[in-house]
Amino acid sequence: MIPRYPHYPRRRTLDLGGFWAFCHLGDAPPNEIDLDKIDWNDRMAVPGCFDTIHRYAGKRGIAAYHRQVSDLVPGDYRIIFYHVSHWCRVFINGSLLAEQTCGFTPFTVDFTVAEEESLDLVLLVDNRFDADRIPLHPSYADWYHHGGIAGDVVLRQLPETRIDELVLDTMDYQKRRVKVKISYAAVKMDRAPLKISCRGETLLAEDVSLEKGTGFLERVIQLTGKDLWSPESPALHKISVCLADDEVVERVGIRQVDADGKRIKINGQPVRLLGYNRHHIHPESGYAFSDAALMRDVSLIRQTGANFVRGSHYPQCQRFLELCDETGLCVWNEGVAWQQDDTQLTDEKYIAAQKAHLETMVRWSRNHPCVIMWGVLNEGASHLEVCRRAYETFLGTLRAADPSRPLTYASNHPMDDKCLDLADILSVNTYPGWYSAVLSDIPAALQKIIDHLTAVAPGKPVIMSEIGAGAVYGVRDPYEQKWSEEYQVRLLDTVIRWLYADDEKACGLAIWQFCDIRTSEDKAIGRPRAFNNKGIVDEYRRPKLAFDAVKRLFTQYGDGCPAASQSDPEI
């Protein structure tokens, strides 16, 4: 489903989803494809992942997609591609207009239609791995990299004077003051009316002078009496911003997130974050999720009393974030990365690509109140001094792009990490009782980490950002050995009770993981069925024994799942 916000009520909008012409071109070199000679011998659903269709399952290569759009009146247009995985080129009427080298973040293509004409749209989509061409997508990451036009494709006509970007930042949650930042384009107009309203109530109306070309406006609005956004009560408010004849409607959740001592606070109240790492993958649709599929995941997560999701290990889709906004699920949103080593973290090309990716992630997701923190570099080589500059660069990029949210990274080297001082929140991935040690060693192993963090980076919140055990769905074992559902329950029970039964040892926990996922071809060894089986539900979201066990524990030790969800039908 097309993300509903930001909404442009005055712009002609066309959903380009549907069944496109399709042809799998196999191992063709991207630069040697003649569009005119493609044999469009199949069809493919958009949004969707072609490699979830059996005849293309497991295939890596170039997939060509084609559709036409007719009856476009002359003017300027923008196509928004919400998720193409993971490399693609966009051709309009045979001309190459864009190349996207990283999936997981939306991108746009602007073009002008000179006269009444049909639009011929071709995408070449590549799900292969190529460290040089596609530096951010490593073949060794522990998830299956699906290919396809996995997100929505939306065509919008662009008014000459328009709002190109709208940012709504909570300035002061107690005084209900919100900063409105407007990036605009203006070709001919040098003055225009600006009006900001909330549900018909005019908050600001004035005539503004405009720079020719592009410019920036900033105002502060007062949302007196409006409810705050919190996990328990996720109030959202629709803000309409009109500039000249353009209008953008965006939602704002008035809230402030702080890393304050060893606690994370939302609107000044400490919050205990209990939840999961969630991969945005389903065996039937890959990275493409219907609203019903998103609703099922969020409903299951909330049913266990969780209030927190770490979007492992890439930026979350807009529609998922909209649902988390409405249901009060707090989200850790992170750039795409998985165990980058010193080779990559000292490579200028990788650093430039990751920096641009993080800026894009923030640009598309910063208006979602559910995003309470940004993360970088899952299990990167933060224990190597030579990689510190990369962490400084990436965390600095996030800080500059959005100073309103705390920053973190998940470290699997807590005892010799060299970058802990750069993060606002300390996050640790550790698997005692699974990859190392036995169940009875878990308390001592975790205590050792907590004591070390307290010694070297005192006074910061700590999140157990990954911990868990594998359990193959349906494997019940009176011996309760590893890979049984019983063992997974015992490990998670041991971990959660240690963290919270006596006192709070960490203010956040993200179990690895919510659902089982197919892993990459490189990782299949050591992964039964070539899946990462550490979900509390399997890949079809069938609950394991751990589902009810975690529900009991989160209910006992949690702040309570986001009880209220947005009840406002208009929102």
Cβ closest to ligand ADA, residue 197 vs residue 312:
312
* CB of residue 467 to ligand ADA, shortest distance in Å: 9
Counting other chains too, the contacts that 434-437 makes at CB distance below 8 Å and 24 or more residues apart are 434/468, 434/469, 434/470, 434/482, 434/491
CB nearer ligand ADA, residue 344 or residue 367: 344
> Measured on CA atoms in the order 354, 358, 359, 360, is the torsion positive or negative?
positive
State the nearest-atom distance from the C-beta of 410 to ligand ADA, in Å.
Answer: 7
The residue (of 84 and 469) whose beta carbon lies closer to ligand ADA is 469
Distance separating alpha carbons of residues 535 and 374, to the nearest angstrom = 23
Shortest distance (Å) from residue 520 CB to ligand ADA: 10
For residue 194, what are the β-bridge partners? 206, 243
Task: Name 356's Cβ contacts closer than 8 Å, sequence gap at least 6.
Answer: none
Strand partners, 202: 197
Contact 200, 163 (CB under 8 A): no
Structure tokens at 332: 């850790």
Helix (H) or strand (E) holding 545: helix 545-557
* Alpha-carbon span 394 to 352, nearest angstrom: 10
Residue 247 main-chain phi, psi, to 5 deg: -140, 135
CB of 83 to ligand ADA, least distance (A): 20
278: three-class secondary structure by DSSP? strand
Comparison of 430 and 566: residue with beta carbon closer to ligand ADA: 430
Give min distance, CB of 387 to ligand ADA, in A.
17
* Residue number with CB closer to ligand ADA (104 or 512): 512
Amino acid residing at 204: L
In sequence order, the β-bridge partners of residue 88 are 100, 125
- Residue 180 CB, nearest approach to ligand ADA (Å): 38
Give dist(CA 218, CA 226) in Å, integer.
21
Residues within the interface to ligand ADA (CB under 6 A): 142, 312-313, 378-379, 412, 429, 466, 512, 532, 534
What stretches of 58-200 adopt beta strand conformation (E)?
Answer: 62-72, 75-81, 84-85, 87-92, 95-100, 107-113, 117-126, 148-149, 153-158, 162-172, 177-186, 191-198
Do you find a cis peptide bond into 86, omega within 30 degrees of 0?
A: yes
Minimum Å gap between C-beta 541 and ligand ADA is 18
Q: State how far the Cα of 86 lies from the Cα of 123, in Å rounded to an integer.
A: 12
Cα separation of 184 and 167, whole Å?
12
Please say which residue, 258 or 379, places its beta carbon nearer to ligand ADA: 379
Q: Which CB, 365 or 532, lies closer to ligand ADA?
A: 532
Report in angstroms how near the CB of residue 534 gets to ligand ADA at its nearest.
Answer: 5
Shortest reach from residue 141's CB to ligand ADA, in Å? 7
Whether 382 and 421 have beta carbons less than 8 Å apart is answered as no
Judged by CB, which is closer to ligand ADA: 275, or 328?
A: 275
**Angstrom distance (rounded) from CA 30 to CA 87:** 10
Q: Are 425 and 463 in contact (CB under 8 A)?
A: yes
Radius of gyration (C-alpha) of the chain in whole angstroms: 24
CA pair distance 249, 239, nearest whole angstrom: 6
- Spatial CA neighbour of 269 closest among 368, 174, 168: 174
Do you find a cis peptide bond into 461, omega within 30 degrees of 0? no
Q: Which residue is nearest to ligand ADA (CB)?
A: 142
CB atoms within 10 A of CB 5: 21
Closest approach of ligand ADA to the CB of residue 268, in Å: 32
Of 236 and 469, which CB lies nearer to ligand ADA in the complex structure?
469
Residue (435 or 479) nearer to ligand ADA, CB:
435
Min dist. Cβ of residue 138 to ligand ADA (A): 12
Q: Measured between alpha carbons, how far is residue 212 from residues 164, 196, 227, 516 in Å?
A: 14, 22, 38, 52
289 or 409: CB nearest ligand ADA: 409
> Least CB distance from residue 283 to ligand ADA, whole Å?
18
User: Cβ of residue 132: shortest distance to ligand ADA, in angstroms?
Assistant: 24
Compare residues 256 and 378 and give the one whose CB is closer to ligand ADA: 378
Closest to ligand ADA by CB, 147 vs 375, is 375
